[in-house]
């Protein structure tokens, strides 16, 4: 048990207490960030004349050595240390002796851990953003290829009006663009450096916090030392943005699971992304989509957890905050894993375009267009709605679609109908006439696709 704080104690810590208190089993995840922060701190201390240039060089070389050895596996991070900060400091002192004991000058583990967590979260925001971008590129490809792929659009899970696959997928494109902008917002808001806040009240050493902040790529130092060591808002915001990303993937997964079912047959998930049953030889299950949907709950759980942990904590640092890590790390791994797999699944999935179009035709998705036909011939919309409702009933009775109903039947209910009704309610017309901004018409869709392309090039 290697501890940094033995001085005022007369007894060894109870083993169970030590284990309960220790965070090394999980905070070792940010050893890179911890060392990056220490190097910046030391560079600043030397610049301020608090350390000599020689001490700085020694400490830097020692830290670089630790980093290289941990990366290569030569140096193992073990539970003998309380946390990653203790591990690095103890190893440094082992390597370089007395100079190593000066590393922690003007610093507390409270501002150190606040820094490490911010650096870690910031790095992970960047990596997650890359993955969301890859997902957007996969969606864009599906959109480009399916401007004329007709399918039913649903409300209440009832067939409503015809749309295209490009349009449907385009809805998800919008969601994931918003997700990226949420990540960017968080990154910007959190990008202030807590190092130099000390335990809670700053320090009497003449630290140059602007300089440390600059070295670590922050926009500047945090403005209040008590807030600096006790702020975990950015973790809450991250987990909230992650929850939304998961929610978006989960909704799409739910659709894919339905579309992949024997009843819909809109898509076929690639063999590489499906699994079988141990008993039923015919089965090909959409497990990946189900797992992404399921893991959404886990990420929501992390958000609820951190909100609950933070709710009653008085200023400034309290050990409760150590609980921010495991759940955040788990959520990060979950979201990144899900994004990569989800992107792989949708890029390899086959769309059964004929089934999609047939489904749109058989579900009276063109009934609104039949009513609009009457309106265009002077019938008030409410009357037109009633007339088409009766036509639909007739079709249901005969087991046919509106396209298949003979003209006499149309005329029997309203003499306004002429032969051009069939063209007016064809899938092609129904979709292509929807040309308002945001609608599925191919001209507007092509515009959206061009804008998406520009967005992907520029962001
Ligand atoms: N392991 C702690 C955490 O994760 C950081 C160390 C601060 N510890 C302390 N006793 N002040 O929050």
Domains and their CATH numbers in the chain:
6-105 (1.10.275.10), 110-147+158-194+223-358 (1.20.200.10), 367-425 (1.10.40.30)
pLDDT tier at 362 (50, 70, 90 boundaries)?
confident
pLDDT at residue 283, as a whole number: 77
Ligand 1: centre distance to CA 319 (Å): 6
On the question of pLDDT at 4 being above 90, the answer is no
pLDDT at residue 274, as a whole number: 86
Ligand 1: centre distance to CA 446 (Å): 54
Ligand 1: centre distance to CA 198 (Å): 12
With a 6 A CB cut-off, is 110 part of the ligand 1 pocket?
yes
Nearest to 124 by CA among 190, 35, 42, 68: 190
With a 6 A CB cut-off, is 89 part of the ligand 1 pocket?
no
% pLDDT > 70, the chain:
100
**Element spanning 160, H or E:** strand 158-164
% pLDDT > 90, the chain:
93
Q: What is the mean pLDDT of residues 193-200?
A: 98
Distance CA 242, CA 245 (A): 5
Among 77, 110, 201, the mutation site with the greatest number of ligand 1 atoms within 8 A of its Cβ is 110
Among 6, 319, 320, 323, the mutation site with the greatest number of ligand 1 atoms within 8 A of its Cβ is 319
- Going along 352-448, which residue ranges are E strands? none
Distance CA 416, CA 192 (A): 69
Which sequence positions are flagged as catalytic? 156, 277
- Going along 16-97, which residue ranges are E strands? none
With a 6 A CB cut-off, is 83 part of the ligand 1 pocket?
yes
pLDDT tier at 2 (50, 70, 90 boundaries)?
low
With a 6 A CB cut-off, is 113 part of the ligand 1 pocket?
yes
Nearest Cα residue to atom 4 of ligand 1: 322
Of ligand 1's atoms, which has the minimum distance to the CA of residue 199? 11
Model confidence pLDDT, tens digit, residues 328-348: 999 999 999 999 999 999 999
Among 31, 81, 83, the mutation site with the greatest number of ligand 1 atoms within 8 A of its Cβ is 83
Task: Please state, rounded to an integer, the average pLDDT across all residues of the chain.
Answer: 96
**Element spanning 217, H or E:** none
**The tokens of 68 are what?**
């290289």
pLDDT at residue 281, as a whole number: 78
Nearest Cα residue to atom 2 of ligand 1: 322
pLDDT tier at 386 (50, 70, 90 boundaries)?
very high
Q: How many other C-beta atoms lie within 10 A of the C-beta of residue 72? A: 8
Model confidence pLDDT, tens digit, residues 67-109: 999 999 999 999 999 999 999 999 999 999 999 999 999 999 9
Model confidence pLDDT, tens digit, residues 392-420: 999 999 999 999 999 999 999 999 999 99
pLDDT tier at 49 (50, 70, 90 boundaries)?
very high
Of ligand 1's atoms, which has the minimum distance to the CA of residue 325? 4
Ligand 1: centre distance to CA 186 (Å): 24
The ipTM is 0.95
With a 6 A CB cut-off, is 212 part of the ligand 1 pocket?
no
Q: What is the mean pLDDT of residues 369-395?
A: 96
What own/partner pairs with CB < 8 Å and gap ≥ 24 does 323-330 have?
A: 324/117, 324/232, 324/235, 325/23, 325/26, 325/27, 325/29, 325/117, 326/26, 327/239, 327/301, 327/302, 328/117, 328/121, 328/235, 328/238, 328/239, 328/302, 329/26, 329/29, 330/298, 330/302
Nearest to 78 by CA among 37, 32, 39, 22: 22
Asked if 353 contacts 310 with a C-beta cutoff of 8 angstroms, the reply is no
Q: What is the mean pLDDT of residues 131-137?
A: 98
């Amino acid at each position: 048990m290697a501890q940094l704080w033995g001085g005022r104690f007369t007894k060894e810590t109870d083993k169970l207490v030590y284990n309960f208190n220790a965070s090394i089993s999980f905070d070792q995840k940010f050893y890179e960030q911890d060392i990056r922060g220490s190097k910046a701190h030391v560079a600043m201390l030397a610049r301020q004349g608090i350390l000599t240039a020689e001490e700085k060089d020694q400490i830097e070389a020692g830290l670089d050595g630790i980093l290289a050895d941990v990366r290569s596996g030569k140096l193992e991070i073990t539970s003998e240390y309380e946390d990653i900060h203790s591990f690095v400091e103890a190893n440094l002192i082992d390597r370089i002796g007395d100079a190593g004991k000066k590393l922690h000058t003007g610093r507390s583990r409270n501002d150190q851990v606040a820094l490490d967590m911010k650096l870690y979260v910031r790095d992970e925001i960047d990596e997650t953003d890359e993955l969301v971008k890859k997902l957007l590129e996969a969606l864009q490809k599906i959109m480009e290829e399916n401007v004329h792929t007709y399918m039913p659009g649903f409300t209440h899970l009832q067939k409503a009006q015809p749309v295209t696959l490009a349009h449907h997928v385009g809805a998800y494109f919008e969601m994931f663009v918003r997700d990226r902008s949420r990540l960017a917002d968080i990154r910007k808001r959190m990008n202030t450096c807590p190092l130099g806040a000390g335990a809670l009240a700053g320090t009497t050493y003449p630290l140059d916090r602007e300089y440390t902040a600059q070295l670590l790529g922050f926009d500047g130092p945090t403005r209040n030392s008590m807030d600096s060591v006790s702020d975990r808002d950015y973790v809450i915001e991250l987990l909230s943005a992650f929850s939304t990303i998961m929610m978006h993937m989960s909704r799409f997964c739910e659709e894919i699971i339905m579309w992949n079912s024997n009843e819909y047959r809109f898509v076929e998930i690639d063999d590489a992304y499906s699994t079988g049953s141990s008993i039923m030889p015919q089965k090909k299950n959409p497990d990946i989509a189900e797992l992404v949907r399921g893991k959404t709950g886990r990420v929501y759980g992390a958000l609820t957890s951190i909100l609950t942990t933070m709710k009653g904590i008085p200023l400034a640092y309290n050990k409760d905050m150590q609980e921010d890590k495991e759940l955040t790390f788990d959520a990060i791994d979950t979201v990144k894993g899900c994004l990569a797999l989800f992107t792989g699944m949708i890029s390899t999935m086959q769309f059964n375009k004929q089934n999609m179009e047939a489904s749109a035709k058989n579900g009276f998705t063109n009934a609104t267009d039949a009513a609009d036909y009457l309106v265009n011939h002077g019938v008030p919309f409410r009357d037109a709605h009633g007339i088409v409702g009766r036509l639909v009933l007739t079709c249901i009775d005969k087991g046919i679609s509106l396209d298949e109903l003979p003209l006499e039947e149309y005329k029997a209910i309203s003499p306004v109908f002429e032969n051009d009704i069939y063209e007016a309610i064809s899938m092609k017309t129904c979709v292509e006439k929807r040309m308002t901004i945001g609608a599925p018409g191919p001209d507007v869709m092509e515009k959206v696709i061009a804008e998406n392309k520009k967005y992907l090039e520029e962001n």
